[in-house]
């Protein structure tokens, strides 16, 4: 992963990496007098549409927040439903992903998932490992702080004698769970909340943030296009002045 705080990444109008907090399933359902579960079920359809649109638009990496390390705090019936939905989605979607060149990865602390689900995850990852059109990373039982702490723990295991002033950004970055992904160019949160909720804390340093009130089940191809259009209008300065960005050769 190239670091936006150390070098200035090149960017274009279409983000290379889009990261999404898929929020608002429960409220989508409640507005329709349906149980929250119905919103999660519809959320899977939104995932399918957004994956398809990302492929069409040439986005190379899509990272979705499906279940946070804090979502275990929800009622057990809802957690159970989410796990079953996750399992069913893996079963139903994997053939399509194989066909469409999507490489699937699940990132997070998988040790808390039951063995049947873990086996499905491994199988899905193995079956799509050779694909390269779009890398789809689904964050499950993931937390940004967990990822950073794990990286630091791993660093100290690798180099037990390390002195405090020898710890560098690169040494930590190289041990992140998501170390293979470039930093996200565009972050989207649906559902109206303006917060990060412990998503990619390390990686979002210079990501463009986009918030929409639309609930996740209503997030379609057009909604993704709107987010990409908003992104294309941003001036990414990475600490420099606007003049420097517009006239790269000039001093100042
Ligand atoms: C996002 O929708 C899905 C998960 C967190 C798993 P929510 O379930 O958070 O929906 P709201 O925010 O309650 O509407
Ligand atoms: C964030 O949504 C996590 C996922 C979408 C998986 P939450 O609904 O859990 O976030 P908070 O609790 O509103 O911050
Ligand atoms: Mg929510």
- CATH code at 221? 3.40.1180.10
pLDDT by residue (tens digit) across 117-149?
999 999 999 999 999 999 999 999 999 999 999
Binding site residue list: 23-28, 36, 40, 68-70, 72, 74, 189, 195-197, 208
Q: How far is residue 71's CA from residue 26's CA, in Å, rounded to a whole number? A: 13
Which two structure tokens, joined as six digits, stand for 146?
């967990």
**Distances from the Cα of 208 to the Cαs of 33, 64, 109, 232, 250, in angstroms?**
35, 16, 27, 10, 25
Domain count, the chain: 1
Range of 102's domain?
Answer: 17-230
Q: Which helix (H) or strand (E) segment is 142 a member of?
A: strand 134-142
Q: Collect all residues with Cβ–Cβ distance below 8 Å to 179 and sequence separation of at least 6.
A: 1, 173
> Is 122 among the domain residues?
yes
The verdict on pTM exceeding 0.95 is yes
Q: How far is residue 39's CA from residue 26's CA, in Å, rounded to a whole number? A: 5
Pairing of strands 61-68, 102-107: unpaired
> Is 95 among the domain residues?
yes
Predicted pLDDT of residue 252? 52
> Is 246 among the domain residues?
no
Which two structure tokens, joined as six digits, stand for 234?
């941003």
Q: Collect all residues with Cβ–Cβ distance below 8 Å to 181 and sequence separation of at least 6.
A: 1, 17, 61, 63, 135, 137, 203
> Is 244 among the domain residues?
no
Which two structure tokens, joined as six digits, stand for 239?
């600490």
Active site annotation includes 71: yes
> Is 240 among the domain residues?
no
Cα 13 to ligand 1 centroid, rounded to whole Å:
30
Active site annotation includes 100: no
- The DSSP output letter for 49 is H
> Is 12 among the domain residues?
no
pLDDT by residue (tens digit) across 157-199?
999 999 999 999 999 999 999 999 999 999 999 999 999 999 9
Q: Is 27 in the pocket of ligand 1 (CB under 6 A)?
A: yes
Mean pLDDT for all residues in the chain: 96
Q: Is 230 in the pocket of ligand 1 (CB under 6 A)?
A: no
Query: What does the H/E/C string look like for 56-103?
Result: HHCCCEEEEEEEECCHHHCCHHHHHHHHHHHHHHHHHHHHHHHHHCEE
Is the Cβ–Cβ distance between 191 and 216 less than 8 Å? yes
**Is the confidence at residue 218, as pLDDT, over 60?**
yes
> Is 175 among the domain residues?
yes
What residue's CA is closest to ligand 1, atom 3?
23
pLDDT by residue (tens digit) across 29-54?
999 999 999 999 999 999 999 999 99
> Is 150 among the domain residues?
yes
Q: How far is residue 144's CA from residue 179's CA, in Å, rounded to a whole number? A: 13
Cα 26 to ligand 2 centroid, rounded to whole Å:
11
Q: Is 67 in the pocket of ligand 1 (CB under 6 A)?
A: yes
Residue 248: pLDDT band with limits 50, 70, 90: confident
């Amino acid at each position: 992963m190239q670091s936006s705080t150390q070098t200035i990444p090149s960017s274009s109008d279409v983000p290379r990496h889009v990261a999404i907090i898929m929020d608002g399933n429960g409220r989508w359902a409640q507005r329709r007098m349906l149980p929250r579960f119905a919103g999660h079920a519809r959320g899977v359809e939104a995932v399918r549409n957004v994956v398809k649109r990302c492929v069409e638009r040439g986005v190379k990496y899509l990272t979705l927040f499906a279940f946070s390390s804090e979502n275990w705090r929800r009622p057990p019936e809802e957690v159970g439903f989410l796990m079953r939905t996750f399992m069913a989605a893996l079963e139903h979607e994997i053939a399509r992903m194989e066909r469409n060149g999507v490489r699937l990865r699940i990132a997070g602390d998988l040790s808390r998932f039951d063995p049947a689900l873990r086996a499905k995850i491994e199988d899905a990852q193995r079956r799509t490992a050779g694909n390269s059109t779009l890398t789809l990373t689904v964050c499950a039982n993931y937390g940004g702080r967990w990822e950073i702490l794990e990286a630091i723990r791993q660093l100290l295991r690798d180099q037990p004698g390390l002195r405090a002033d020898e710890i560098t950004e690169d040494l930590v970055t190289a041990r992140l769970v998501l170390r293979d992904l470039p930093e996200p160019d565009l972050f989207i949160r649906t559902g109206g909340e303006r917060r990060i909720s412990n998503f990619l804390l390390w990686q979002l340093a210079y990501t463009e943030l986009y918030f929409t009130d639309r609930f996740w089940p209503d997030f379609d191809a057009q909604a993704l296009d709107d987010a990409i259009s908003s992104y294309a209008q941003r001036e990414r300065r990475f600490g420099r002045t606007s003049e420097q960005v517009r006239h790269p050769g000039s001093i100042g």
